[in-house]
Chain A
Amino acid sequence: MRRIGVLALQGDVREHSSMLERVGARVQWVRRPEHLAELDGLVIPGGESTTIAYLLTTSGLRDPLGVALGEGLPVFGTCAGLIMLACSVSDGRSDQWSYGRLDVAVRRNGYGRQVASFEADVEVKGLGPVPGVFIRAPRIEGVGDDVHVWASYDHGDGEHPVLVRQGSAWGCSFHPELTSDTRLHELFVGAVDEALR
C-alpha cells in the first residue's frame, strides 16, 4: 500500500486524507521534518498559501521538503498547494515564496474574491467531466514547455489550464477533495504506483 503524506499545517487536510484513504493509500500527516521519511508521495492541500508558507518555515519543514521535491518526491497540490509548487506567483505578498516544482505562473485569487467563487464541470483528459470547485482560486496564466495540461477551463474570458502535470508533480486550481469524485486522487496515486514500478 502506498504511503502518501498530507501536509497538515493548515487547510483542508481532512478532506484530502479521506480521499486518499478511499483510493487505497495509507495517509501520513506531515507537520514536522521527520514525517517526510519513507513517503511515496505528498499532497499539499487547499488553505491559505501565506499561512502554509509561514508554518513551513517555523516548523523547519521548508528546506527538507524542498530537498525531497528536488529529489523527485511525487506531489499533488490543490489551490494553495498549486501556489506553493508554482515557479512564479503574482498578486501575492511581496515576499511570497514557492518551491518552483511546477513550471507555471499563477495569479493568486485570479478568479476573484469569495463572492466570485464558483462550481463548474471541468473536462479532464481521459476522464471526462470532473466537478470543479473553485474557491478564491489561483489562475494559471502561463505554463512551461515541460508542463502537460490535463484540463483547461474557460470562465468566460478565455481558456486557462486548471490541471497540470510536470513529471511526478501535479497541480490544480480547484478542489477535487471537496467533492465525492475520487478520480483525480486515483490518477495521482496511480502515477505514484507507476513511478515505483
Chain B
Amino acid sequence: MTAMSSHTGSTLVKRGLADMLRGGVIMDVVNPEQARIAEDSGAVAVMALERVPSDIRRDGGVARMSDPEMIQGIQAAVTIPVMAKARIGHFAEAQILQSLDVDYIDESEVLTPADEENHIDKWAFTVPFVCGATNLGEALRRIGEGACMIRSKGEAGTGNVVEAVRHLRTIMTQIRRLKSADEAELYALAKDLQAPLPLVREVAETGELPVPLFCAGGISTPADASLVMQLGAQAVFVGSGIFKSDDPVRMAKAIVEAATHYLDPAIVAKVSTGLGAAMKGFETATLEVRLAERGW
C-alpha cells in the first residue's frame, strides 16, 4: 500500500497523550538521576524543571523556563514522556520547548507570569499543553485557548493538599451544576463562569471536561493521591512531595501504587506503612505568595 496522508498536532493526538497518562503519576525531577528514579518507580511521565516548587517558594526571585541542556539531559535519561514548564503567556519559551521536542508543555503558575492579561495561544503549537485551573470557568478558558489537559492547581510546594481538594471539588461541583441545568440556564451560567458557551454546553451534555482532568499542588502521600483520585482526578502530579520526603524511592513507588489502587484502602494502607516522613510542608494561611492566584 502507498503512503497515505497523515497529520501531526491534531486535537486527537494531543488530548490522546493525556488519555494515555490516566491512572498515573507525573513527577517533578531536577536532574537525570531523579528522572531515572521516577521511571524506575513507575512514573508515567516526568516534569523537568530546575527547582521544585518548594525551593522556588523558598528562594524567591523570578522563576523561568529551565535550561535546555538540563531538559535534554533528562530526555536522554528516560523512555517515558518528558514535560517542561513555560511561564504564563511566554510563548517564546513555549516555542523553545517545542523545538526541544518535549512531550507536553505546562503553562504554569509555578513560574513567574510573563503576561498578566493573556495566556499562550496554544492552538498555534504542535506540542500539547497542560494548564492549571482553580475552577470550571478557568479550566474552560484554558481549553478554549487550546489546552489539552487540565490540572487543578492546588498550592504547589506546600505539601498541603487542602487547596488541591478545594479546586477539585469546585470544578466537580460546577460540572454537576451544568449537568442539571436546562438549556435556557446555560447562557447565564456561561456568563457567570466567563467561559465559552460551546464548551459550557459540551460539559453540560457529557458531565465532564472535554479533556482529561488531573490534580496537582500539595499531594505528598499515597493517601493524598487516593483522596484526589476519589474526588474525580484522573491522574496526579507530584512536585516537591517525592524528592523532599525522607525516602524518595519508596514514596514514589507508594504514590504510584496508590494512584492505581485508590479504591482499595488495604493496598493504600500497605504502601503507606513505614514510609518515613513526607515533606514537612506549610500551613497555607501562613503563605506570603499564593501561586494559585496567578493565571485568570
**Chain A residues close to B by CB (< 8 Å):** 8-15, 31, 46-48, 50-51, 54-55, 58-59, 79-80, 91-93, 108-109, 113-123, 129, 133-136, 152-156, 159, 175, 178-179
Contacts and interface: CB of A to CB of B under 8 A. Distances in A.
A80 B41 contact: no
B62 interface: no
Interface of B: 1-10, 12-14, 16-17, 19-24, 39, 41-45, 79-81, 98, 101-104, 126-128, 253, 256-257, 260-261, 264
Given A122-B4, A135-B20, A136-B81, 6 more contacts: A91-B79, A113-B81, A120-B6, A120-B7, A133-B13, A178-B19
Given A153-B1, A155-B6, A55 B42 contact: yes
B252 to A, nearest CB: 11
Given A135-B17, A178-B12, A156 B3 contact: yes
A9 B79 contact: no
B6 A119 contact: yes
A10 B101 CA distance: 24
Residue among A48, A59, A109 with the most chain B CB within 10 A?
A: A48
A33 to B, nearest CB: 13
Contacts of A11: 20, 22-24
Nearest to B13: A117
A57 B285 CA distance: 42
Contact of A135 (B13, B41, B126, B127): B13
Q: Which 7 A-B pairs have the closest CB atoms?
A: A120-B6, A54-B42, A114-B103, A10-B23, A117-B13, A154-B3, A118-B6
Given A80-B20, A136-B103, A119 B79 contact: no
A91 B79 CA distance: 8
Contact of B10 (A55, A119, A154, A156): A119
Interface centre among A91, A115, A118, A119, by most B CB within 10 Å? A115
B24 A51 contact: yes
